[in-house]
Amino acid sequence: MSALLKSKCAGLLEVSEISENLESDPLSNVANYGNQELELASLGDAGPNVTFLHRTVQDFLNRPDIQTFLKSWQVEEFNATDCLLRAYILSLKMATLDDDYDFGLISRRAKDALVIAHRARKTSFGLDNQLLSDLDEIVTDHWLQIPVTNNEVGRSKGQHWADWVDKEGYKKTEKDHVDFVGLAISHGLHELVAAKIEEDDKQVERKRGHPYLDYVFHYKHGIPGQLDMISVLLKGGANPNQRFRDHTF
């Protein structure tokens, strides 16, 4: 699709890979109608983002008759991010795992879905937590098809698929015990984390390995502060004095 877009729209509409800053608006770079340097990231291919929009295209889209035409096709209260997230989850559900290495593609698609989920929670519609529970369940089904082995290709017994995601910062080990809640924390999904803790008030206390609170500081993805997430975790029983890798938080 990117190659087709480039061949048909080069010079009029150009796109780039997603920025690692989850707080950025995917269309914010259009404002100056010029190429802008983006920091490439390891967040998968949840983009592409618009980085250049020619004035001719902008003027065309702003024509009253074109605006009227576009609005005539617009569904009332259309939730674009929700639809996109559902599409990603459906594609994961339909994916096949013919080889252990295929899970790398599946995990990247799951990572993209989490990026979209972060953006969805910032819209007026909010985020449907059930979609993320479905995401975890579907990817787990794929993950469990991989044989348990002691090498890098297979999975370890009791290992969660989240171990394949968010590997920046430092190399994780089995002792980190990464799980889906940790993944949600690293992507700023504090409503989902709060819901998980409400369902199970021992969720934080029972966490082995890498404490949840440290995910806020190790995997920022450009999310400033995360005070709401810190508050949720502290109320859930997180201990800021807990030591991990020879430091506290």
The span from the CA of 164 to the CA of 220, in Å, is 17
Same domain, 121 and 44: no
- Note whether 146 and 164 are within 8 A (CB): no
Is 167 strand, coil or helix? Answer: coil
Same domain, 85 and 133: yes
pLDDT at residue 30 tops 50? no
Cis amide bond preceding 224, omega within 30: no
Instruction: Give the tokens for residue 229.
Output: 């997430």
Same domain, 172 and 243: yes
The span from the CA of 24 to the CA of 8, in Å, is 27
CB atoms within 10 A of CB 219: 19
Same domain, 67 and 15: yes
Summary mean pLDDT of the chain:
76
Q: Which helix (H) or strand (E) holds 138?
A: helix 129-143
The number of domains in the chain is: 3
Most confident of 1-5, 74-78, 82-86, 120-124: 82-86
pTM of the complete model: 0.68
Same domain, 154 and 197: no
Structural domain harbouring 7: 2-72
Same domain, 111 and 153: yes
Same domain, 249 and 172: yes
Same domain, 174 and 238: yes
Domain boundary among 159, 180, 199: 159
Least confidently predicted of 12-16, 19-23, 86-90, 235-239? 19-23
Domain boundary among 134, 159, 184: 159
Same domain, 66 and 123: no
Q: How many CA atoms lie within 13 A of 19 on its CB side?
A: 19
Domain boundary among 143, 159, 175: 159
Same domain, 145 and 187: no
The string of pLDDT tens digits covering residues 152-189 is 556 777 788 887 765 543 445 556 788 899 989 988 89
Amino acid at 229: M
- Note whether 183 and 166 are within 8 A (CB): yes
pLDDT of residue 10: 76
Least confidently predicted of 11-25, 26-40, 80-94, 124-138? 26-40
Same domain, 148 and 101: yes
CB atoms within 10 A of CB 56: 11
